[in-house]
Amino acid sequence: MQHLDKLLAMGDSQIAKFLWSSLHGLEASLKKTQEQFPQDPGADICNVVLRELQDLLQPSSFDSATNQNQNIVATQKEDSCLEDTQPITFNQLKLSRLRDDFSDDQDLRRYLGNFQLHSQKDSELWNEIQHKLLRLPKEIARSWRERALELAQKAQAEIDTSNILQLCFKDNENIYPGLKGTIEAKGLSLSKNVSLDSQLLQENKYDDLLSDDLKLLACLVSICLYFIDIESDLYHALETVDKFDTRHLSNTDTEQRDKYIEALKQRFQRTLKAEENGDSITILKAWINIDEAIHSLVFVPSADPDSWWSELKKESRRILIRKVKKAKEEGHDVRIQELSGVYADIHNLSSSYDLPSKVGGILGEVQACLRVYARINQEKYPGRVIYRSSK
């Protein structure tokens, strides 16, 4: 490493410039490959390699030597203040302490896997970390959210209650705050005063005729679509799209992304049609299908059962229970079961296409119930789960 440092410090060397560029390209390629293969056995070592590369690529070696040779130290100090006109690198981040503390917390890898923070702007880093907190147990998320705000305030930023993106929901809920001052970042909240997503409602007549359950469902689907657009860590595990694995919903794999989104929208529309039809069994089956599509939007490893994400999805299951009650009141023999606990105890109720996971959770236990088990008038419908495999 010392020889690399020496070569990179030679600001007047073309070879040094080539090495600098090549190492930046290697760093970007490793990050992209790691995102595509988060469960790769080399992921832990890759994290170490990336940190070594980041240390090598600190501007203190190559850039400072070049600037000294060109005698422009004063100009460099001026330019460092022009944040809007210069690319922001990691060492320029006002929230660099937050980035480092979050990355160094090994306990978080139990819930997030071998993650990397990729944001190069403070506003992006604020949102990237806040989104990851939504997957953690609520108490851990609360503690980190307080820590993040404390470090933002030390960087001369403050809470901005006006710079908030609002998503439609049945209740008002502040998810995380925005920032103003030295850092401008948008916050996120749920609001009952926001209109439903128009792309979900194919006919205007649905606007006024939606029941409370359907309005809530429209909110849940809209929230899913929003996070698919902005969250790079999301996967899908919808059996009708791909029954053999969880698939990353990245911008590069547009086929999987488009197929999942289309399936989600179609199941929503079928639920609207079923409710319009009025038959309790048709309605129940439609709700089981849309509930499966919502719960098949997952992270790797799965979001903690006590997280914001898991709590949001429980809204769909609560509606499903109401549909079961309605069918029973009409004399149907109906039972549903959310599959959880030790996988060996419930696998006879689940699909042959259950998905094993090698990260997160407890060995041998269910991580996420993608589809509930159902028995409807003596006909059985297997559930489907992601479980932590011991292999």
Asked which of 173, 194, 215 is the last residue of a domain, the reply is 194
Per-position b or e across 274-299, b if 16+ CB within 10 A of its CB: bbeeeebbbbbbbbbbbbbbbbbbbb
Same domain, 169 and 220: no
Closest CA to 288 of 228, 354, 376: 376
Is pLDDT above 70 for 101?
A: yes
Asked which of 41, 71, 86 is the last residue of a domain, the reply is 86
Question: Which residues touch 354 (CB under 8 Å, ≥6 apart)?
Answer: 343, 347, 384, 385, 386, 387
Q: Which amino acid is at 318?
A: R
Structure confidence at residue 341 (pLDDT)? 96
Same domain, 363 and 261: yes
pLDDT in tens, 46-73: 766 766 666 665 544 444 444 444 443 3
Closest CA to 242 of 384, 344, 338: 384
Same domain, 19 and 123: no
Same domain, 241 and 344: yes
CA atoms within 13 A on the CB side of 216: 17
Same domain, 99 and 242: no
Same domain, 346 and 292: yes
pLDDT in tens, 234-293: 999 999 999 999 999 976 668 889 999 999 999 999 999 999 988 999 999 999 999 999
Structure confidence at residue 370 (pLDDT)? 98
Same domain, 176 and 216: no
- Structural domain boundaries, residue 38: 1-86
Same domain, 33 and 133: no
Structure confidence at residue 250 (pLDDT)? 77
Q: Flag whether the pTM goes above 0.95.
A: no
Same domain, 139 and 252: no
Is pLDDT above 90 for 78?
A: no
Asked which of 177, 194, 211 is the last residue of a domain, the reply is 194
Number of domains in the chain: 3
Same domain, 162 and 52: no
Same domain, 205 and 170: no
Mean confidence (pLDDT) of the chain:
84
Same domain, 112 and 228: no
